[in-house]
Amino acid sequence: MIHYTCDCCQRPIDAEIDPRYVVRMEVYAALETAEDEGDNDRDHLQEIQDILESLDDSLDGHVDDEVYRHVRFDLCGECRNRFVKNPLGRAMSQQLDFSKN
């Protein structure tokens, strides 16, 4: 049997009793500019190929992580609820936009 642990609170998750939630996130560099929006004749596949080739030629292995990152988390029900309410993890006072007086 596979043992799961909540990646947020570190609580063990019994998959037979408790629901387990999976969060998958992708973070990638937006490569388009405002002037490219109207250009429908572009060869997007060739542009992607050129970018991938330039990454392969790069000597710095950190470039890949800066351009694209994919992560996966297992969450328990409580942490899932907190994540859905506040996916960016901002402080609640910032979300409520309190005045400074």
Report yes or no on 101 lying in a domain.
Answer: no
pLDDT reported for residue 23: 97
pLDDT reported for residue 39: 61
Report yes or no on 22 lying in a domain.
Answer: yes
- How large is the average pLDDT for residues 82-98? 78
Report yes or no on 95 lying in a domain.
Answer: no
Expressed as residue numbers, the domain containing 69 is 4-88
pLDDT reported for residue 71: 93
Report yes or no on 76 lying in a domain.
Answer: yes
Q: Please state the domain count of the chain.
A: 1
- Provide the mean pLDDT of the chain: 81
Report yes or no on 24 lying in a domain.
Answer: yes
Residues 42-89 have pLDDT tens digits of 788 888 888 777 766 655 555 567 778 889 999 999 999 999 999 998
- What does the alpha-carbon distance between residue 54 and residue 48 come to, in Å, rounded to a whole number? 10
Report yes or no on 73 lying in a domain.
Answer: yes
pLDDT reported for residue 53: 75
Q: Would the CA dihedral through 73, 77, 79, 85 be positive or negative? A: positive
Report yes or no on 43 lying in a domain.
Answer: yes
Of the listed ranges 16-20, 32-36, 63-67, 73-77, the least confidently predicted one is 32-36
| 99: exposed, middle or buried (Cβ count in 10 Å: 0-12, 13-18, 19+) | exposed
